[in-house]
Structure 1
Amino acid sequence: MDRTGKFRFFLFVLLMFFCFSKVAFAEETILVLHSYHNGYPWTDAISRGIAKVFDQRDKEVNIYVEYLDAKRASPNRFTLFLENSLRLKYKKKPPDIILCGDDDAFIFMNHAGRRLFPKVPVVFCGVNSRESLTEEIDSLTTGLIERLDIEGTINLALRLFPVTENVAVISDLSLTGMWIINQLRESMKSYEGKVNEINLMGLGPDDLKKSLRELPPQTIILLLLYAQGGEGEYYSPDEILAIIQDATDLPIFSVLEMMIERGTLAGSVLRGEAHGERAAKLAVEILDGKAPSSIPIREDVPVSMGNYTGLKDLKKSLQSLPGDMILFGEPETFFYRHRRLIAINVAITSVLAILVIALLWNDKLLKREVLNLQSETEHLEKLFENSPHGTILINPRGEIMRANRAFLRMFGYGRKDVKGKDVDSLLAKAGDLLRHAQDLTIITGLGGVVSGRESLRLRKDGSLLPVMISGYPLVTKGMYRGSYGIYTDISARKNNEGAIRQHLRAEEIISSLSAALVKEKDFEQTILSSLHDLRLFFRARYMSVFLFDRPDKGRGTAFIRYEGEKEMGRKVFPLTFGETEPLRRTIQSQTVFFLEGKSPFTWDTEEKKQILETTPDETVILLPLLRDEAMAGCVCCVFVREKGNDHEEHISEGLLGIYSLLLGSALSRYETELALEKNLLLLSKTFKETFHLMSRLLEIKDPYTAGHQQKVAYLAKAIAERMELPHNRVEAVFYAALVHDIGKIPVPSSILSKPGRLSEAEFAIIKNHARFGAEILSAINFPWPIADIVLQHHEHVDGTGYPHGLKGDEISLEAKIVCVSDVVEAMSSFRPYRPALGIEEALEEIQKKRQIWFDSRVVDVCLHIFKETGGEFWKEITKSSHNV
């Protein structure tokens, strides 16, 4: 490489390093502006939530935090100073996004902040009301509103202390405090005549202590916000709580999370860390390219929270608390943490035990029926045995179950020789005869009748016997159980007819071998059968296939078809290293090996030598057998060459070459399919049985919906297939539909089977079944989103469904399919509270609610299926569900 080339290469490397460096060191700058000071619990909790979200970013994130300190000083005094400070700090590198916490920070950003950072998106949180949001908010601003749940806190207090007569309210008179007091005035209107309000607002510490000591019994204390004393001095949450607890033992409730963490009893609160997380997630969406104007401003939802130690000291039963209450300081014992899961497992085990008892009782009844059938069976057996025609009973796999005396005498077999044998393989062996026999078997297998067909069948000694064959299917309860065949000996009439057909020509043999190697499951039997056909075609003394094991094993197997009387001239020998190694060396050096005269190969046993040793007048053709381009063995043909017949020798070499290629491909496919089939069959059987068992569990609890989930599953699968969904999504629809009501197991049977209209409370319990089902199924690692589909199958397109009121594309297509199928089946079937409405009314209902409740595409496909097939489709689904 000359100097110019080296210089260009250096420039290219330098350019690539610069590009990758820009990518590697890409970073995001986040500015967090808090209204209050560092160390204030609410502010610190929001900071933790924001940091938690950005710690999960796959980019480097720099978070800068500024504080207005509004609790301890008026921010108006240094707003200009803060504005100038921020201008200097972020002049060179403005932040990519700004998060502001609470009203003071939001007001600052909405005015001075827009002068500083006019093009930077802003996400706010902790803003106390929508009244704080003026029309000046631009398209770059969105966020979360803090809603104090005063009513929820008072309701919780009255639930814990139902004899309460007075509510003593404590608050300071700061701007935030006054806003909370205004909210209190609206909330207390709901409690007029129920409890009395005692005003302790705006008091200094000493006056507050005095007033607290004078409170009457049957009073609860509602602590709103107390950060400033009567003269504006700052009090921390710990300090004000110590003042209150030092003055009174009355129960204290609060609307602030930080106060419950420090010892107040309970309240309906916003969790600061979760509030910060939600705001940070909105910021992440904006950083990832979503426009702030497309993100609506939302109110954050409070949660019930209690202080475990305080409730325990009051000796309040934890079972009397709301089920969704968060208990601060709750001990994490194993049984307490997993109590719901343990209860569910106990319930499932009980149901399974009942199922086992029912099965044992059913088995007892079944045995009684068997005894009643034995006498009828004996009578039929006598008729069968004494028939003058050869008669056999065949199972669905084509295996002989019974043969009468006339059949055994006709073909020269004993009973043990024929029982369990494939009738076609036994009486036809191979070739046209076998195909003809298989055709007749297929006819009866499809429910057809074979009457008076003349053909040839093989006797045990190998001779051909002319027979007349009739076959009739055995069908009970609409299911094919097998067939029975009748053979009549017509040899006296056929002694002078026809000669044996000529063997297949070369192309036909290859076709037969190819089909056999693809279709037949018994690979070794297929090799022996194919060698037999080739030996007859080549008029060879023997045909063989030598298969080698892996090279490090040095062993092999010989499959041989030869001229012999014993075992119809077939042998399968194990080969030693000394026998396979010369074969391997020979075929590795030549593509086709011809040998005339005594073979140089050695055989270890006399039986092998007797069959495989060649004579001087015999010719040996040896071809390699490749499996995935690796040596797997060889094909060998030993025959006596006819002089002057070079054309036939050329045909023989070509056919053997094609056979070697087909056998190598079949060997590779056979070994692969053998391993896969074993695993897939076991997995598929276990998987399907598990799903059907889960489906049956609900039917045991609610017999009125027996078959409901199966019919919904078949209809949903038909819709998914018509919509041309991929196979894995069709499977997801089917199995999700099969267990879509599994969440009704925890629902009381009295509600499921109630004949009348459900009350609002009962219907609320029923509506939880989608969530219960999703919780049960989410613990199982399915290859499809089964839990999500079950959770959403009662959601409506217009958002009126449950449990989450999802709309449009928020609902998965699979859940929309299950929803329509569920409604069609439920309306057309009987329920305890109403008769069956019929399939026509069900289809009319989904048509009315098309694109309101139900997805238009799903409805159109469903209606098309019923219009195209009529009632036959629904009858077939009903039949299939009964047979599951």
Structure 2
Amino acid sequence: MPNPPSDLPGDHRTAIQDASALLFHDAPMAVYLRDGQGMFLEVNRAMATLFGYDGPAAFLEAMAGSSEQFYLDPAAKSALLSGLAASGAVAGHQYQAICRDGFVLWIDESAQRVASPLGDDYYIGFLRDITEEKSTSWALTEAEEKYRSIFEHAVEGLFQMTPAGRFVTVNDALARMLGFAAPGDLTALGNAAARLFTRPADRQLLHATLVDTGLARGMETELARTDGMTIWVSIQARAVRGGDGEVILYEGSMEDVTERRNSQETLRQTLARTKALFHQTVKSLSTTVRFRDPYTAGHQDNVSRLAAAIALRLDLPEETTAGIQVAGQLHDIGKISVPVRYLCKPGRLVGLEWEFMKQHATTGYEILKDIAFPWPVAEIVLCHHERLDGSGYPRGLAGPDLGIEARILAVADVLDAMASNRPYRPALGMDAALEELSRNRGTAFDGDAVDAAHEVILSGLVRY
């Protein structure tokens, strides 16, 4: 260590030397003393420990035997000594150093020149291990570069936008999507959102959603491009809040879904045409029975409306209700095979006549079974004369084997048949029909379907 001034009393000089030595050796930071040629004269314990040596003596011995000392790149040592020689001080000199076990550290070194009373130059310096800082810095830099690469090359349009509607940051994909030559052309617009959103209400909804919930997912809206065309986009965004909780920024992505929307619209129109054609076909099939049985011309339509109303009253799914409605329109199509003399006979059918008539349920099934309906129409038609107690036909099925569609159709069929005119009798009236259903509620007919039929008729949902 450099000596204290020579003009101090002896006991003071000794005290200062002892204190300096204590501070030097016990300092938590690595400290060294070099001569003018860069050789280490003295180091503290922290310095030795930093490089993996048992103590200062072991460190000094190792450094004396190596001209490169612990510097991974000898140029780093030369740069340090040159800087000290030129200006007398070096601060924040960073380089890589090799420990005793070969581990490489990043070191931050600061040193300054100290002259002895005899005029000799010494350098006292401090070393700090910045390996962890470097690793963190590199990780952050790498993450930032990776994020920038993802941002710039993403297929989706990425953006940051103020609540006022100004784009702060956009990537190339979003600029191209909206017809801009470069991202800067979009961010240069003061209130781009007001120009882009063709529906101001959609922009207000996006703003309200982000303020209230902080997140918007899959919001589809129409945007105007710079060339006058419009596109549909799906927006995913989140709100970024400041320290006071106020929303300061929106950030997220936009995906061009114009092609999908157009495809969906085309599909919707196609389905609408297909649905219309389907119902026309069902109507045509239903009409074939009318030509053979004029007495029951409106029966199938009435049963269809009544069965659908009962299904709605029972809160059945829309698709199930649609299937019941179609089955109602076609439930007597099997009568096309019944001789006209039986269909129009003014008296009751007996014997073989009745057996012929009972076959219409099976015949209807055979006609409809190969048609690819989206519902089990053929099976419903086959079962519309079955009863819960097994007394029906053609198979004598009982409750557990009958679906809700057949149960509802059975109630609607009996209700309309009794309330309407028949070749062999005049109409019995709605009161008689409802009374018949009530008398057989839970035995021949499904209780819920009977109750729903009462409600439908009494509420006027289906009029006779």
Rg comparison, structure with higher value: 2
